[in-house]
Structure 1
Amino acid sequence: MASFYGLVLPSTAATDVVKWLLIDQRYPQIPKSKMLGSVFLDRIIGLSTYIFVGLVFILIAKSKGILIPDMVFYAILALVLGFIVFYVFIYFFDIKKAIFRFKIFKRFESVSELVNRENLPQIFKGMLVAIFSEFGWVLQMWFISWYFGANLSIFSILVYIPIISLILILPISIAGFGAREQLFLFFFLPVGGKAEGVLLTSAFSGILGILVSLLGGLVTLTPEFKKNKLKQSF
């Protein structure tokens, strides 16, 4: 459902906010800050996994002589180091004492129940699921690019798709259209992609995302959803 509303929002981060609001409506007994922390942690797990995998394949690509712009390499490396610091901080420090003892962060104290050393096994399980999800997504993207003759390798997709997804968090386009096509051309043309095929791959993947998001829109038409909305209005 959040993806459905996200079709008219200029950022995937806005979709996360919608997800938080929808879940909060469904489970009002759970503190809002804890729910927001859960959505934030979900985003962090997904992004950190994609970035880690991206760095691994950048290193493999470099060893095979595939051209990777230095700017991309150092940006990914910096992000990986940032995520490592984040996870090391969680492991060695009590985040509740380190951060949430300050008055300005006190209202978000319930988030510390999610982001702590005890929950690291669950976080790493989430990362494992994200890895399998990413490889499935990459294979789908590669098949689409192969069908449209974009001439993209799995290596290039594994390296650049996480970067493109990260950039699309910025509020630069509605549902990613326009910006995604420009980013596909910017990253994939220098590594041998064919312009027409790259554009078709980007557009078709965007259309698939819309079709999946529309399923969430259908949920809003169900009697159960309308009944819950009516209860909340009272």
Structure 2
Amino acid sequence: MKFLITALKIVITTAFFLLLFQIFNVKIASLVTEIKDWRYLAAAASMPLTIIPFISINRWKLFLRVSGIVESFFTLWHINLKALFQGLIIPSTQGFDVLRIFYIDQRHPKHRGRAGSTVFIERMIGFVLLCLLSIVAIMSVAKLRDFQPLFLTIIAITVAVFLGLGLILSKTLHGFYTGYNFKNKIITRLFNYIETFHGAIVYFPYRKVLPLSLVWIAAFQLATVFTIYLVFCAYGYDIPFVQHVAIYPVIAILSMVPITIGGFGVREGFFVYFYALVGVPPSVAMGVSIVQYIILILVPATLGGMLILWEIITRRAVDISK
């Protein structure tokens, strides 16, 4: 069943790409030939290997520390890289978060559920901040009429996010199902994990961590948007940074919908649609979308794949020596 679902996702992803290439008459070679300044691309490629992981790991360390869990920077970076590589085939752009939860819970069995909840909490706060940044950026854009579709989209998403968070953070909801017992041991273990995971989210000391966490999360999001800005500059489009802050968060949020593998095709379609608002041709928008995915995801994921391969080789070497 899982194989059929994965195969269906691959078919849908391929279909999306072929459709977009045909509709907008985009040639694969143009993704490279339309690049005007490779220096900007080199600067963008350095971001996910330097500034972005520094911010993201310290952000995660903060949430873990408040939860009573201490981890080293390099251990968490190792987890992120491995999860990125293994999450490439998972639908949605944030599928690797499930693997991050698995790995951090595996490292801290006494804090299982509570450790994993930190991944969800940082994403939850980041989601809200992403929406608010986009709204502020859109309102600061001079030609607000041209951004009306974008503005209405982000408003709808923000309302949905706040309604969802109200449900997730409800102590009443958590208390409603807490303490239920089942005869089946597997169901009981699963239910206990959900109860612990959800409880850690509901009773997390948000006031204690919120000021500093907002700084780290905002820095991460702005660094990601700056990477997109650099890629557009590489293609010869020096679009004002505030317009990227208005547009990219909406694309990032909508691309999380688990329709295709890694959001491929869906993300490119949104890039074409929303960046057309600022006069970017479809071929350039698609090129930037693909290149930014390679830079932000595939480059660190490749390192993760190398780490996994190294672990397999060293583990086998140890087994042989025994």
The answer to whether the superposition gives a TM-score over 0.5 is: yes
Does residue 1:29 correspond to 2:110, yes or no?
Answer: yes
Aligned-residue CA RMSD in angstroms?
3.0
> Are the aligned partners of 2:178 and 2:195 in contact in 1 as well (CA < 8 Å)?
no
1:200 Cα offset (Å): 1.9
Distance of aligned partners of 1:28 and 1:120 in 2 relative to their CA distance in 1, 3 Å threshold: same
Alignment match of 1:77 (pick from 155, 173, 178): 155
Residue in 1 that maps onto 2:89? 8
Any residues of structure 2 matched to 1:150-165 within 5 Å, and which? 150=237, 152-165=239-252
**For residues 147-199 of structure 1, what are the alpha-carbon distances to aligned partners after superposition, in whole Å with 9 as ceiling and x for unaligned?**
11245332221111111111111112222332222111011013211333222
Aligned amino acid, residue 173 of structure 2: I
CA deviation string 1:108-161 (max 9, x = no partner)? 443334433733231342222111112222222111101112453322211111
User: Structure 1 residues 202, 217: closer, same or farther in 2, change over 3 A?
Assistant: same
Between 22-31 and 139-148, the greater mean CA deviation after superposition: 22-31
User: 1:215 pairs with 275, 285, 303, which one?
Assistant: 303
Query: Larger Rg: 1 or 2?
Result: 2
Q: Which moved more, 1:51-60 or 1:169-178?
A: 169-178
Q: In structure 2, list runs of 5 or more residues that go unmatched.
A: 1-81, 181-191
Q: 1:158 to 1:140 in 2, by over 3 A?
A: same
8 Å Cα contact 2:251-2:267 kept in structure 1: yes
CA contact (8 A) 2:92 2:263 kept: yes
Is 2:100 the partner of 1:19?
A: yes
C-alpha separation between the residues in 1 aligned to 2:282 and 2:166? 42
1:150–1:201: 8 Å Cα contact kept in structure 2? no
CA 1:167 to 1:84, structure 2 compared with 1: closer, same or farther past 3 Å?
closer
CA distance in 1, matches of 2:115, 2:298: 26
One-letter amino acid of the structure 1 residue matched with residue 111 of structure 2: I
C-alpha change, 1:103 and 1:85, in structure 2 (3 Å) is: closer
Q: Measured at CA, do residues 173 and 86 of structure 1 come closer, stay the same or move farther in structure 2, by a change above 3 Å?
A: closer
Q: Cα–Cα, structure 1 residues 143 and 122, in superposed 2: closer, same or farther, change >3 Å?
A: same
* Structure 1 residues 148 and 3, CA gap change in structure 2 (3 angstroms): same
Query: Are 1:144 and 1:201, in contact at CA under 8 Å, matched by a contact in 2?
Result: yes
Higher RCO, 1 vs 2 (CA within 8 Å, ≥6 residues apart)? 2
Between the aligned partners of 1:194 and 1:35, the Cα distance in structure 2 is: 44
Q: Aligned pair in 2 of structure 1 residues 193, 210: CA closer, same or farther (>3 Å)? A: same
Cα distance between partner residues in 1 of 2:244 and 2:179: 39
Task: Pick closer, same or farther for the CA change 1:78–1:225 going to 2, 3 Å.
Answer: farther
**2: CA distance, partners of 1:218 / 1:123:** 35
Q: Deviations over 1:59-102 (max 9, x none)?
A: 101xx124444343133224444556677899xx9x54x22211
Identity %: 23
Q: Name the stretch that deviates more: 112-121 or 7-16.
A: 112-121
1:167 to 243, 250, 254: 254
More displaced 10-residue stretch of structure 1: 181-190 or 192-201: 192-201
TM norm structure 2:
0.60
Q: Which amino acid aligns with 2:304?
A: G
2-structure distance, mates of 1:66, 1:196: 25
Question: How many residues align structurally?
Answer: 222
Relative distance call for 1:23 and 1:225 in structure 2 (3 A) is farther
SS at match of 1:156: helix
The one-letter amino acid paired with 1:210 is L
- Contact kept, 8 Å, 2:225 with 2:244, in 1: the verdict is yes
**Take 2:211 and 2:313, find their aligned partners in 1: how far apart are those partners?**
33
User: What is the TM-score with the length of structure 1 in the denominator?
Assistant: 0.80
